[in-house]
């Protein structure tokens, strides 16, 4: 039996509503305990000594001077790692603490515990590490084929349980993964109209505000308890188990408050280090990265070099796409294989293309390691293919909206992997809706609202307006055959004579509102308003990662399934009490479908609580063929489109985004306010990539690891947004929902760049756009 829509609509605070966040009051009063807020009597502070060199041999490490400093309790090196010396999400190739060689600037070498954070930092600085500096490999093109290329790794890393089936590490070189897509006859085909372009995406940082941090507490059983901000408790624990040489049951993780994530918490940071120090000293150890250390302490978005060639007929209908995408993965694998999978399979965008020849490489260099960031491979490709679509539109005399609607995929389209889109794909509708939205008024004369703001030195004489469009595609959930599941424990019982539901998962709330939506699902499924979501920890089975826009889908699916199991048990009790029949649970009541309300849910709980724990999986996917890219690799697709309006001071090279309009299909808006929050925030990160955000790396070294020098959008930079949300149900997903978090980050960047091109007339090939890209081009005219 399924619960009717009517039931879902009748229990207050259920799905489709926007109840307030259960953690909201704690967050506005300062009581919410983030991972950097934790404190215990007698705790020590940890600090990390990191490599100053992008590449060097370690010839010796002398910890003696550090140990002599008063207040220092432990100084540990790779010799002190109890278990496996390397770890990794997909491939175990990243040292817990460097041994023999360092491969990027900022690689951890020594960890220290002391009674004051400053003492710990000073002790770390006293450690003497002798390095023999080696010239780093910093150009990804050199890494894959230049005659002088030098391998960054001598040996391939160990595959882990998260390894994709088709994610080989080249045994003797720098190629993490090379994925080919061959669809139709891309080599032989020709076209009447051909446009080509080279594009580059700079390195973006997730720049969550809550730094990497946590508290490790040694336990009486020889194990350790860790309170930490992360994105996936169980995958952390698995990697920690190897490094600490402890069975998983002796490592208990509890989620501390997470100050944003955006992909940067998928890889381990301080987890193993804090536990090593706690186990060695027998005391609780707190580690909190500074902002500068945070820039070295997590992976970034892969920089990309892309070459695209689009062929079309004279009407603008695509005939072929040929493309090369080169992603710089930096020194260690992280999630580069999966990022390559996304960039290649989504690399032509949401368009019907009969012939596709795509080669995508992820490579090792001695640049900072790159991995997960919101949009995960789809962001880089979208800047390439959307730039090309505008170029093609200009070549055939169509508007940006016309070229996209003409070539848009729709339900039933076959993607270049051979996979059929088997749910709504309203790409053309997104574009039409954007086109129909009113445009903002003319250039604002309030000087605060001109490009450059109050710092401007003109009164807008050189300001030109431009409008640009873009649309993107993103896969939802883990792809390529990964066994992607979540676990939910659902319990219903009487608390003070009232039915009360407890939902317990290990799924991580990072700010997006997962705790709210889990409770909404339980309310709708069980007809009970009082729902508590327990703290996420490893006492329950894995919730999978808070990434790939997957948690509402997968953990939401698990909570729904857990509730269904609980409901079945309650219906057995109802049948025993009220006689056989079909029942439903609504707003605290038990209703018979024949007789109406027959009693209270509370009365079914007089015999005691009901509890079930279930695992839930989305439909299986397949690996990609390495040579052709064929395979039903993806679970679901999500589509989002933006229109950007910008004012550009073409003389000063300054940009102000005046308005962003966005239309996104979310399948089902489980919590409409939270959906808007994701669209606003994701669009802002795309704006940042378009016009300001870049981790600048020169000769393998970071030049701007601070919020002074790494610029991201303030409230002055972010324009008002118009947002329309479509709800076209996906028949394969719980409630018809689609993942929401990533798509808005994908299309906002190319839409803004298109608008800047329209305003300035400059053929921009790189993001973020810098003033000199605009001014230098203008001077050449």
Partner 1 sequence: MTIRVTMTVNGEPLTADDVWEGESLLHVLRERLGLPGSKNACEQGECGSCTVLLGGEVVCACLVGAGQAEGADIVTVEGLGDGEQLATIQQTFVAAGAVQCGFCTPGLLITAFDLLNRDPDPSDATIREALAGNLCRCTGYEKILDAVRLAAERAR
Give the residue with the Cβ less far from partner 1, 231 or 333.
231
Identified binder of partner 1 from the candidate list 28, 161, 575, 576, rule CB under 8 A: 28
- Helix, strand, or coil (residue 566): helix
Decide if 756 contacts 649 (C-beta within 8 A): no
Strand order in the sheet with 531-533: 531-533, 498-504, 485-495, 610-617
CB of 479 to partner 1, least distance (A): 26
Binding mask 315-354 for partner 1 (x = CB under 8 A): ----------------------------------------
- In the region spanning residues 55 to 94, those forming contacts with partner 1, defined by CB under 8 A, are none
- Check residue 715 for interaction with partner 1 (CB under 8 A): yes
Give the binding range for partner 1 (CB under 8 A) out of 31-39, 219-227, 428-436, 518-526: 31-39
Q: Count other Cβ atoms within 10 Å, centred on residue 763.
A: 11
- Check residue 684 for interaction with partner 1 (CB under 8 A): yes
Give the residue with the Cβ less far from partner 1, 334 or 685.
685
Give the residue with the Cβ less far from partner 1, 374 or 523.
374
Best CA proximity match to 293, nearest among 108, 17, 35, 550 = 108
Q: State the DSSP code for 257.
A: B
Give the binding range for partner 1 (CB under 8 A) out of 17-25, 472-480, 597-605, 649-657: 17-25
Unique residue bearing structure tokens 């048990």? 569
Identified binder of partner 1 from the candidate list 2, 442, 457, 708, rule CB under 8 A: 708
**CA pair distance 468, 529, nearest whole angstrom:** 45
Give the residue with the Cβ less far from partner 1, 11 or 512.
512
Identified binder of partner 1 from the candidate list 118, 155, 313, 315, rule CB under 8 A: 118
Please give the C-alpha separations between residue 184 and each of 95, 343, 358, 622, in angstroms, as whole numbers.
43, 19, 12, 20
Give the binding range for partner 1 (CB under 8 A) out of 359-367, 444-452, 577-585, 732-740: 444-452
Identified binder of partner 1 from the candidate list 1, 5, 12, 27, rule CB under 8 A: 27
Give the residue with the Cβ less far from partner 1, 23 or 611.
23
- Check residue 681 for interaction with partner 1 (CB under 8 A): yes
- Check residue 677 for interaction with partner 1 (CB under 8 A): yes
**CA pair distance 183, 194, nearest whole angstrom:** 18
- In the region spanning residues 568 to 627, those forming contacts with partner 1, defined by CB under 8 A, are none
Identified binder of partner 1 from the candidate list 9, 37, 281, 625, rule CB under 8 A: 37
Give the residue with the Cβ less far from partner 1, 23 or 626.
23
Identified binder of partner 1 from the candidate list 342, 417, 549, 683, rule CB under 8 A: 683
Identified binder of partner 1 from the candidate list 9, 23, 578, 651, rule CB under 8 A: 23
- The first and second tokens of residue 404, run together, are 């996209």
Give the residue with the Cβ less far from partner 1, 206 or 405.
206
Identified binder of partner 1 from the candidate list 31, 59, 196, 696, rule CB under 8 A: 31
Give the binding range for partner 1 (CB under 8 A) out of 178-186, 190-198, 322-330, 705-713: 705-713
CB of 738 to partner 1, least distance (A): 19
Identified binder of partner 1 from the candidate list 1, 4, 5, 20, rule CB under 8 A: 20
Beta strand pairing status for 175-183 and 355-363? antiparallel
**CA pair distance 171, 707, nearest whole angstrom:** 38
**CA pair distance 199, 190, nearest whole angstrom:** 23
Identified binder of partner 1 from the candidate list 10, 250, 465, 680, rule CB under 8 A: 680
**CA pair distance 419, 421, nearest whole angstrom:** 7
- Check residue 21 for interaction with partner 1 (CB under 8 A): yes
Give the residue with the Cβ less far from partner 1, 23 or 625.
23
CB of 769 to partner 1, least distance (A): 20
CB of 162 to partner 1, least distance (A): 25
- Check residue 25 for interaction with partner 1 (CB under 8 A): yes
Evaluated on CA atoms 237, 35, 298, 380, the torsion sign reads positive
Give the binding range for partner 1 (CB under 8 A) out of 129-137, 247-255, 260-268, 570-578: 260-268
Best CA proximity match to 374, nearest among 339, 422, 331, 424 = 339
Best CA proximity match to 301, nearest among 268, 343, 272 = 343
- Check residue 443 for interaction with partner 1 (CB under 8 A): no
- Check residue 36 for interaction with partner 1 (CB under 8 A): yes
Unique residue bearing structure tokens 């730039």? 387
- Check residue 768 for interaction with partner 1 (CB under 8 A): no
Q: Count other Cβ atoms within 10 Å, centred on residue 434.
A: 23
DSSP secondary structure, 7-76, as one string = HHHHSTT-TTS-PPPTTHHHHHHT-S-BTTS---TT-EEEEEEE-SSSSEEEEEEE-HHHHTSTTEEEEE
- Helix, strand, or coil (residue 242): helix
CB of 207 to partner 1, least distance (A): 6
DSSP secondary structure, 74-136, as one string = EEE-GGG--S-SEE-SSEE-EESS--SEE-STT-EEEEEEESSHHHHHHHHHH-EEEEEE---
Decide if 348 contacts 356 (C-beta within 8 A): yes
- Check residue 745 for interaction with partner 1 (CB under 8 A): no
- Check residue 125 for interaction with partner 1 (CB under 8 A): no
- Check residue 728 for interaction with partner 1 (CB under 8 A): no
- Check residue 720 for interaction with partner 1 (CB under 8 A): yes
Give backbone dihedrals phi and psi of 760, rounded to 5 degrees, phi first: -100, -20
CB of 440 to partner 1, least distance (A): 13
CB of 125 to partner 1, least distance (A): 14
Best CA proximity match to 407, nearest among 463, 476, 354 = 354
Best CA proximity match to 406, nearest among 723, 199, 193 = 193
Binding mask 162-201 for partner 1 (x = CB under 8 A): ----------------------------------------
CB of 656 to partner 1, least distance (A): 12
- Check residue 99 for interaction with partner 1 (CB under 8 A): no
Give the residue with the Cβ less far from partner 1, 570 or 674.
674
Best CA proximity match to 508, nearest among 476, 474, 475, 552 = 552
Long-range contacts of 2-11 (CB under 8 A, 24+ apart): 3/524, 3/525, 3/567, 3/584, 3/585, 4/584, 7/524, 7/527, 7/584, 7/585, 7/586, 8/524, 8/525, 10/527, 10/586, 10/587, 11/523, 11/524, 11/527, 11/528, 11/529, 11/586, 11/587
Give the binding range for partner 1 (CB under 8 A) out of 194-202, 323-331, 511-519, 753-761: 511-519
Ramachandran quadrant class, 588 (left: phi over 0; alpha: psi -120 to 50; beta: rest): left
- The first and second tokens of residue 627, run together, are 């040579």
Segment holding 533, helix H or strand E: strand 531-533
Best CA proximity match to 421, nearest among 62, 6, 212, 732 = 732
Which spans of this chain sit near partner 1 (rule: CB under 8 A)?
18, 20-21, 23-25, 27-34, 36-37, 39, 116, 118, 206-211, 257-262, 288, 290-291, 446, 448-449, 510-513, 673-674, 676-677, 679-685, 706-708, 712-716, 718, 720-721
């Amino acid at each position: 039996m399924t619960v009717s829509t009517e039931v879902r609509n009748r229990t207050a605070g259920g799905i489709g509503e926007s109840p307030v966040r259960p953690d909201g009051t704690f967050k506005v009063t300062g009581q919410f305990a983030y991972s950097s807020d934790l404190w215990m009597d007698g705790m020590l502070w940890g600090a990390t000594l990191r490599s100053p060199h992008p590449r060097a041999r370690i010839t010796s490490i002398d910890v003696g001077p550090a140990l002599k400093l008063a207040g220092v309790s432990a100084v540990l090196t790779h010799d002190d790692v109890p278990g496996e010396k390397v770890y990794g999400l997909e491939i175990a190739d990243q040292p817990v603490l460097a041994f023999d060689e360092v491969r990027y600037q900022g690689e951890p070498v020594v960890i220290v515990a002391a009674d004051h954070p400053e003492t710990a930092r000073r002790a770390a600085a006293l450690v003497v590490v002798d390095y023999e500096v080696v010239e780093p490999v910093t150009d990804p093109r050199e890494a894959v084929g230049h005659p002088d290329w030098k391998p960054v790794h001598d040996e391939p890393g160990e595959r882990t349980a998260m390894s994709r089936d088709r994610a080989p590490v080249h045994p003797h070189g720098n190629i993490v993964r090379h994925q080919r897509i061959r669809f139709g006859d891309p080599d032989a085909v020709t076209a009447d109209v051909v446009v080509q372009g080279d594009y580059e995406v700079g390195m973006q940082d997730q720049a969550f505000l809550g730094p990497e941090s946590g508290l490790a507490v040694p336990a009486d059983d020889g194990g350790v308890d860790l309170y930490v901000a992360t994105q996936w408790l169980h995958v952390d624990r698995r990697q920690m188990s190897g490094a600490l040489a402890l069975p998983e049951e002796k490592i208990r993780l509890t989620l501390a408050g997470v100050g944003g994530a955006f992909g940067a918490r998928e890889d381990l940071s301080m987890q193993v280090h804090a536990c090593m120090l706690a186990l060695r000293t027998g005391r609780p150890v707190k580690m909190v990265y500074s902002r500068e250390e945070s820039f070295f302490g997590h992976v970034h978005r892969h920089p990309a070099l892309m070459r695209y060639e689009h062929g079309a007929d004279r009407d603008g209908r695509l005939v072929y796409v040929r493309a090369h995408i080169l992603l710089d993965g930096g020194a260690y694998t992280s999630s580069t294989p999966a990022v390559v999978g996304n960039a290649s399979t989504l690399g032509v965008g949401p368009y019907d293309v009969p012939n596709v020849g795509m080669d995508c490489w992820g490579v090792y260099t001695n640049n900072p390691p790159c991995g997960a960031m919101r949009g995960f491979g789809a962001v880089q490709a979208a800047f390439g293919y959307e730039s090309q679509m505008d170029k093609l539109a200009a070549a055939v005399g169509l508007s940006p909206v016309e070229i996209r609607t003409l070539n848009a995929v729709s339900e039933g389209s076959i993607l270049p992997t051979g996979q059929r889109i088997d749910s709504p794909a309203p790409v053309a509708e997104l574009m039409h809706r954007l086109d129909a939205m009113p445009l903002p008024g003319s250039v604002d004369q309030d000087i605060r609202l001109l490009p450059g703001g109050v710092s401007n030195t003109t009164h807008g004489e050189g300001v030109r307006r431009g409008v640009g469009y873009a649309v993107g595609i993103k896969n939802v959930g883990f792809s390529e055959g990964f066994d992607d599941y979540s676990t939910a424990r659902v319990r219903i019982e009487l608390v003070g004579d009232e039915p009360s539901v407890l939902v317990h998962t290990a799924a991580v709330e990072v700010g997006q509102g997962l705790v709210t939506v889990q409770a909404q699902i339980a309310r709708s499924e069980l007809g009970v308003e009082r729902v508590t979501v327990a703290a996420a920890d490893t006492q329950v089975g894995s919730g999978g990662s808070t990434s790939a826009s997957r948690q509402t889908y997968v953990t939401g699916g698990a909570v729904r399934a857990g509730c269904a199991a609980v409901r079945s048990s309650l219906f057995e009790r109802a049948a025993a009490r009220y006689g056989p029949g079909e029942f439903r649970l609504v707003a605290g009541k038990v209703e018979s479908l024949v007789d109406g309300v027959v009693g209270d849910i509370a009365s079914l709980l007089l015999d005691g609580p009901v509890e079930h724990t279930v695992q839930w999986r989305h439909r299986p996917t397949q690996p990609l063929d390495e040579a052709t890219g064929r395979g039903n690799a993806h679970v679901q697709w999500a589509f989002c489109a933006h229109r950007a309006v910008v004012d550009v001071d073409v003389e000063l090279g300054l940009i102000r985004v005046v308005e962003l309009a966005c239309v996104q299909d979310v399948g089902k808006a489980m919590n409409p306010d939270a959906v808007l929050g994701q669209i606003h925030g994701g669009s802002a990160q795309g704006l940042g990539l378009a016009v300001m955000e870049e981790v600048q790396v020169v000769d393998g070294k970071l030049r701007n690891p601070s919020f002074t020098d790494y610029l991201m959008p303030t409230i002055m930079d972010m324009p008002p947004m118009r947002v329309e949300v479509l709800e076209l149900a996906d028949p394969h997903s719980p409630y018809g929902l689609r993942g929401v978090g990533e798509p808005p980050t994908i299309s906002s960047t190319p839409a803004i760049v298109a608008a800047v091109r329209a305003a300035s007339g400059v053929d921009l090939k790189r993001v973020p756009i810098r003033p000199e890209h605009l001014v230098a081009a203008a001077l050449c005219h």
